[in-house]
Chain A
Amino acid sequence: MSDVTGNHREGAFQRAFAFAAGTPAIATLFGCVVLLVAGQSIAPGFASLGQIAGQLNVAAILALVAAGQGIVILSGREGIDLSVGATMTLAALLAGNTMNGQDGGIAPALLAALAAGGFVGLLNGLGITVLRIPPLVMTLGMAGVITGLLIVVTQGQSSGSTAPSWAAFVTRPFLFGLPGVLFLWLLIIVLIEAGLRYTRFGINLYAVGSNDFAARLAGISVGWTRILAYVACGAFAGLAGAVLLGYTGNIFLGSGEQYILPGVIAVVLGGTSLAGGKGNYVGTAAGAFFLTLLTSFLTILSVAPAQRQIIFGVILIGFMLLYGREKATR
């Protein structure tokens, strides 16, 4: 009997381990804890609540970009949006010029940012579904066009500025000592997870992403589902741009560039398959937090930037080796 219980216990432990290793969100969160502990031992205060709130604050911007990216990747057929960086800059510049330092302009500015992002997403979606341009190429070309447009309009100058209340919402403590943008992020996590599970669009998205032929046979409008995914991605990039404006105060050309590929990495670290149809947003959010923590952890190590860059790359590959692996060819 004792033998059996022993076996049972071992089985449970193994199952728990397998669950953790097989659930990227949990593995990534575990990675976050490891980073916090290691950081705390090197630089006391790294894992203090205030610091963690600050890290979450930075992670929120990345997580917003990654939210849209995740939806596009879920929609399958090599779905990816490399125009999110340019879209962020566009939306942030629009929002900054609409607000122009006035609190009264916050609502129209947010609407403008979301609409501009959504419109870019619509163009991407149409190009990809109607003209059948590969997503990588379409969104890359779109990024070039938006950046070019911004150079013409802004003449390369930084313009617009955030409203004080919007900056405070993004950076200052709002409730329980946490900035308002974290509550916005929490709300978005809940909304996306619920949207993916319970709305028609969410369910269709998984169906289209895992097998679009079967989805079409089941009567799902594959084209519209994909277009909507890109519109959502653009809108999230727009929102992220507005938050970036609140965080940094003003926006330069190229402000959004640095979020493009880290956003994709956050999605992958969160366990979403680049093949589409498999993944969730909780994992992506954890991935964004992990990337942010990793960046600041490497900053507190007294290592030169170039070496830091190498370590960052090696850790990314290490994490992918853990669970970023695709099914074996048989």
Chain B
Amino acid sequence: MSDAVLDIPSRNRTRRSRSFWRKPWLLSAVLLVVFIGINILIQPRFFSAYALGNIITTMLPWMLIAVGQTYVIFGGSIDLSLGAIVSLVNVVVVVLITALGGGPGAMVLGMVAGLLLGTLCGALNGFLISAFRLQAIVTTFATSIIYGGAALVVLPQAGGSLPTEYFTVYSEGFFGLTLPIYLLVALILVAAFVATTRYQKHLLATGGNRQAAFQTGLPVRRIVMGAHAIAGFMSAVAALCILGVAGAGDPLMGQAFTLGSVSAVVLGGTALAGGWGSVTGSIIGAAILALINNIIFFSGIDYIYQAIVQGGIILAALAAGVFASRRQK
């Protein structure tokens, strides 16, 4: 009897500490520190405002897409067309702004149209997957073919150009900080806000056990479709950010983002099966991917070795992350 009474507080304590150790993003945070350390070693000026601003500008599109992908994966789905959505929005915005004359009004209109288009593309994915119960991997692969083809129809070759104001505003920003820094802060705040909403709980419930969520009365179809629409919107924002750096359209530019976003989500500790994970982790995961690229760039590794070093580091980081999260469960 006394044992049981004594047990209760200690069990509570272990549960509380375990709940900290079970934070999905914990290991990725450790990895982030490690990779920042390596970066400082090989690039002593890493913490200069210029270098930091640069790396945040490179990271931001990856983070945006990874966050979108995270919501989709939370719901037990996956979207392999996000890269194609980035391409499509990218070229449509360039062509539209040019066609409208390139004034401030044209830029706002073009950006709004781009965001709308991205959201619609994502929502279409979600609609096909949830309303017709299609398998997400193959469906979004098929829509990625369609979106990619549409991007090539709109702008067959990389080119076109935006008014200079577009990328000066993006790179100069306000009050001495570049626009990507504000956007990063906004992304973190929005993600933190979404994490407190009922929607994220419902989304995680749907991904964790779709049938149970359905039987509880959750509108699982609408929830999953919403996640896909969010991912499409995030990809569109990323496309606008990429334009802020590149200043020209490229119908093939999004390709690398699709699988990169999945890697970032997994690095962040989110379960690909759905129902468990964290957006913070994905943001950190995307940062890790960018830092790995940075390390390879600044370490002076011969060009031909870069791909294998990058692949090896990512695989090792993923293996470590998955291995650690398995022990926590």
Contact = CB atoms under 8 A, between A and B. Distances in A.
B partners with A: yes
Contact of A131 (B148, B149, B304, B322): B322
Interface in B125-159: 128, 132-135, 137-139, 141-146, 148-150, 152-153, 156
Main secondary structure on A side of the interface with B: helix
B326 interface: yes
B55 interface: no
A326 B133 contact: yes
B137 A274 contact: yes
Interface in A256-310: 261, 264-265, 268, 274, 304-310
Chain A interface size, as a band, is 35 or more
B149 A306 contact: yes
Contacts of B323: 131-132
B133 A325 contact: yes
Contact of A320 (B142, B220, B262, B318): B142
A136 B274 CA distance: 14
A128 to B, nearest CB: 10
Interface in B244-267: 259, 262-263, 266
Interface of B: 78, 128, 132-135, 137-139, 141-146, 148-150, 152-153, 156, 210-211, 214, 220, 259, 262-263, 266, 272-273, 304-312, 314-315, 318-319, 322-323, 326
A142 interface: yes
Given A78-B273, A148-B307, A325-B134, A134 B141 contact: no
B263 A148 contact: no
B318 A133 contact: yes
B146 A151 contact: no
A136 B272 CA distance: 9
Nearest to A264: B138
A324 B139 CA distance: 9
Across the A-B interface, give the 3 residue pairs with the lowest CB-CB distance, nearest first: A148-B308, A144-B311, A309-B149
Interface stretch (A17-25, A102-110, A311-319): A311-319
20 contacts: A80-B137, A134-B266, A134-B273, A134-B322, A136-B262, A137-B322, A147-B307, A147-B311, A155-B304, A261-B141, A268-B135, A305-B152, A307-B149, A307-B153, A309-B146, A309-B152, A310-B145, A314-B146, A329-B214, A330-B211
B315 A144 contact: yes
